[in-house]
Chain A
């Protein structure tokens, strides 16, 4: 039994909501507490549920939510002189690589009187009461695709984040001054990093991304020093590695992708970190990687202390559509057929919903939640959907649903233990997918195809019963709505998300009735909630803007 598991029970007794330890800063042991007054890690707590126990905003009074403050950020190249210059500038780049304006796509940590906000190469600490800047750190990048940053981790009195060009950077949480930085993956090999690191005990779990036929891995670093503790590869790297029989050869396997770019969840009882992996590569041409391609598009549990895999369940064998299964899985203590079970559920980018036993990896439920997903021939006996070869990219064109972005993507879903429902966006676009590189060696990366979106089967927001995989309610967005907004649910009986038409909306979590909306622009992250001065706030980003609502 790990130290963490030993202290868990005691913590729940002695720590009502305090998150600060005597050593100073955020006590990492407090992260096992259920989400309530603050938001100290990516999903608020380790469960991935994004369910807040706060209940001051309810189905009865949500109409009275009002704006506390709003502010915007310059998320592009900063001015290095004058009042708006960053307080600290780091980085290994020369400053020649200029970044454009980025959208805020991450979780915003809320601890004590501060919020920690990120965009690629930027971190801000701002006041929780008015959004005013305490400090701003900027990283001069070497390059890489600046597509997003999912937020920081807090380790005692430091803030740690990943840069696009693959550094782990530790800052003093009070001042923004850099403590250290260390390289986490090779920039030369075309890795790029967006994930929010996750603190578990004295481990910092770190993933990265890559589009060029490179092996995926999850790493654990010492959050105090930045020293590497272990590295877990998601594809076979040796001839005798488990899973090698699902690839034609080691060269294909070790260039097979399976990137770890979205945070997972953590189960203190088993000490498993449970996460999803990315698509295999080359992405759209599977001809040179025949087989199921383990452990790409797979739900994986690793022991946090050793980095050893405990179990796996593949949610998309031999993907050929760039539909990774990196989505944050949600831990659920539930009841199946009258028996209490420790479960984990995930709504994958490929349009299928899964519930799995999180202790053993035993399959429980598979259903199709993407109404028009048309790429699988059947569900295998083990619960994995089976890809239909005729739905791969073809020279004359293949009609495929969903589109490349998937039915869901990195935007976090949510689960309410009050309703037993798993809440997710459901995007049902169609592409014509053309093979442009019929080379029998396969293409490289995400090359070798041409695609065009030809319409939609209608997007929706869906509330899935984790026990059956069937929706209990489903709200169809008017044509043009839907898309990418994360989800928050609360003990007030609410679900917050974006409608894709510029509105932040609140549903009744039980029946899907729309109760409230405000037009602030399309939501670019997931709504969050916390208490300030005893008042419940709801925080959300729309590109470069941040809005904090309050129930007075």
Chain B
């Protein structure tokens, strides 16, 4: 697992790579227009900007590393010395090309609680380069105000106790499931632990076919119609009979009587009862079912 410092460094490394690629790759005109089109569809100015001059950005990145990184962090999200996150700075977001950032960089400014940002003696060109770099990073921010995604961090979700999980499984799950029957090889079929956890808590995989809900409708005359449930609301029940026949019944209160046999109902009913520890323990047990 990478620490956050490691992640910051990784983000920096990715940037070096991107800058390198951009400066060496010539983009065909058509593709460039498409890229512009896609860019113009992004929500905000920071994301809609045209890609800056790669050489200027590369130079700005170096200058940022020398003059700004110690306080504002390698990833611009704030550093150990107390510099604020630049990616959410209102001044940075409003800045076009260094005209707002420049005076702060060169004059410094008083920060909260008596702190002070020292002046950085950069030239006009250097300020523009730093601004181009900062705006380039801003252009990679994710949706809903999220930071640039950077490199995915490998996080280990397996913190549970497999033995306790097995005990819980035997108590609560074994009436429907068996590690030697339906769950044999479960952790091989669903090898990613987070996906496995989501699947068992929900009672089915994201894409795997869910077992159909069976419905039995009993009309006032006593006729019983059974099939797989298509739709149910307060006014209607729709089902498909085993021979493929489509049936629908108007509902008025409890007439006709509608009974559901939903194989995943037990999973829903368990949701208010689990502790997070139960879930983590069961997951730790289920990942052993290779």
CB distance from B286 to the nearest CB of A (A): 13
Within A438-486, which residues are at the interface with B (CB < 8 Å)?
Answer: 438-441, 443-448, 450, 452-458, 477-481
Given the complex of chains A and B, what is the CA–CA distance between A455 and B73 in angstroms?
A: 40
Taking a contact as CB atoms under 8 Å apart, the answer to whether A211 and B144 are in contact is: yes
Taking a contact as CB atoms under 8 Å apart, the answer to whether A439 and B7 are in contact is: yes
Taking a contact as CB atoms under 8 Å apart, the answer to whether B155 and A505 are in contact is: no
Q: Per-residue CB proximity of B192-218 to A under 8 Å, as 1/0?
A: 001001100111001000000000000
Q: Contacts A188-B94, A447-B147 known; A96 to B40 CB distance under 8 Å?
A: yes
Determine if B77 is an interface residue (Cβ-Cβ < 8 Å): yes
Taking a contact as CB atoms under 8 Å apart, the answer to whether B145 and A390 are in contact is: no
B45 cross-chain contacts in A, Cβ below 8 A: 142-143, 187-188
Q: Contacts A186-B90, A372-B271, A396-B280 known; A444 to B160 CB distance under 8 Å?
A: no
Within B229-272, which residues are at the interface with A (CB < 8 Å)?
Answer: 231-235, 262, 264, 267-268, 271-272
CB distance from B255 to the nearest CB of A (A): 13
Determine if B156 is an interface residue (Cβ-Cβ < 8 Å): yes
Taking a contact as CB atoms under 8 Å apart, the answer to whether A212 and B145 are in contact is: yes
Q: Per-residue CB proximity of B218-236 to A under 8 Å, as 1/0?
A: 0000000000000111110
Taking a contact as CB atoms under 8 Å apart, the answer to whether A477 and B4 are in contact is: no
Closest to B160 in A: A396
The stretch among A176-184, A307-315, A429-437 that forms the contact with chain B is A429-437
Given the complex of chains A and B, what is the CA–CA distance between A399 and B113 in angstroms?
A: 39
Determine if A170 is an interface residue (Cβ-Cβ < 8 Å): no
Determine if A214 is an interface residue (Cβ-Cβ < 8 Å): yes
A142 cross-chain contacts in B, Cβ below 8 A: 45
Most buried by A among B7, B42, B93, B274: B93
Taking a contact as CB atoms under 8 Å apart, the answer to whether A188 and B233 are in contact is: no
Q: Per-residue CB proximity of A372-416 to B under 8 Å, as 1/0?
A: 101000000000000000100011111101000000000000000
A255 cross-chain contacts in B, Cβ below 8 A: 85, 88
CB distance from A45 to the nearest CB of B (A): 31
Closest to A192 in B: B43
Closest to B231 in A: A501
Determine if B137 is an interface residue (Cβ-Cβ < 8 Å): no
Determine if A281 is an interface residue (Cβ-Cβ < 8 Å): yes
Number of A-B contacts (CB under 8 A): 189
Determine if A56 is an interface residue (Cβ-Cβ < 8 Å): no
Taking a contact as CB atoms under 8 Å apart, the answer to whether A432 and B4 are in contact is: no
Q: Contacting B280 at CB < 8 Å: which of A397, A436, A446?
A: A397
A401 cross-chain contacts in B, Cβ below 8 A: 271-272
Q: Contacting B87 at CB < 8 Å: which of A145, A435, A444?
A: A444
Taking a contact as CB atoms under 8 Å apart, the answer to whether B234 and A188 are in contact is: no
Taking a contact as CB atoms under 8 Å apart, the answer to whether A395 and B4 are in contact is: no
Q: Contacts A96-B40, A187-B45, A432-B197 known; A394 to B87 CB distance under 8 Å?
A: no
Taking a contact as CB atoms under 8 Å apart, the answer to whether A239 and B113 are in contact is: yes
Taking a contact as CB atoms under 8 Å apart, the answer to whether B113 and A505 are in contact is: no
Taking a contact as CB atoms under 8 Å apart, the answer to whether A514 and B234 are in contact is: yes
CB distance from A32 to the nearest CB of B (A): 38
Determine if B179 is an interface residue (Cβ-Cβ < 8 Å): no
B155 cross-chain contacts in A, Cβ below 8 A: 395, 434-436, 438
Determine if B46 is an interface residue (Cβ-Cβ < 8 Å): yes
Determine if B54 is an interface residue (Cβ-Cβ < 8 Å): no
Determine if B78 is an interface residue (Cβ-Cβ < 8 Å): yes
Q: Per-residue CB proximity of B78-119 to A under 8 Å, as 1/0?
A: 100000110110100110000000000000000011000000
Q: Contacts A212-B88, A505-B234 known; A239 to B112 CB distance under 8 Å?
A: yes
B84 cross-chain contacts in A, Cβ below 8 A: 251
Determine if B31 is an interface residue (Cβ-Cβ < 8 Å): no
Q: Contacting A455 at CB < 8 Å: which of B44, B203, B231, B233?
A: B203
CB distance from A144 to the nearest CB of B (A): 5
Taking a contact as CB atoms under 8 Å apart, the answer to whether B40 and A398 are in contact is: no
Q: Contacts A399-B276, A441-B77 known; A187 to B85 CB distance under 8 Å?
A: no
Taking a contact as CB atoms under 8 Å apart, the answer to whether B78 and A455 are in contact is: no
CB distance from A284 to the nearest CB of B (A): 10
Q: Contacting A501 at CB < 8 Å: which of B4, B78, B233?
A: B233
A480 cross-chain contacts in B, Cβ below 8 A: 231-233
Within A243-265, which residues are at the interface with B (CB < 8 Å)?
Answer: 249-251, 255
CB distance from B138 to the nearest CB of A (A): 10
B262 cross-chain contacts in A, Cβ below 8 A: 479
CB distance from A290 to the nearest CB of B (A): 16
Determine if A97 is an interface residue (Cβ-Cβ < 8 Å): yes
A212 cross-chain contacts in B, Cβ below 8 A: 88, 141, 145
Q: Contacting A444 at CB < 8 Å: which of B4, B145, B198?
A: B145
Determine if B41 is an interface residue (Cβ-Cβ < 8 Å): yes
Determine if A536 is an interface residue (Cβ-Cβ < 8 Å): no
Q: Apart from A190-B46, A396-B276, what 9 extra A-B contacts exist at CB < 8 Å? A: A189-B94, A211-B145, A372-B272, A397-B280, A432-B197, A438-B153, A441-B85, A444-B85, A503-B233
Report A's interface with B, CB cutoff 8 A.
96-98, 142-145, 186-190, 192, 210-214, 239, 249-251, 255, 281-282, 372, 374, 390, 394-399, 401, 430, 432, 434-441, 443-448, 450, 452-458, 477-481, 499, 501-503, 505, 514, 517, 519
Which 6 A-B residue pairings sit nearest by Cβ, starting from the closest? A445-B145, A447-B146, A212-B145, A501-B233, A211-B145, A446-B144
Can you show 21 pairs from A to B with CB atoms below 8 A apart?
Answer: A186-B93, A213-B85, A250-B112, A372-B271, A395-B156, A399-B276, A434-B155, A434-B157, A436-B153, A439-B4, A444-B77, A444-B146, A444-B147, A447-B142, A448-B147, A450-B194, A455-B271, A456-B271, A457-B268, A478-B234, A501-B231
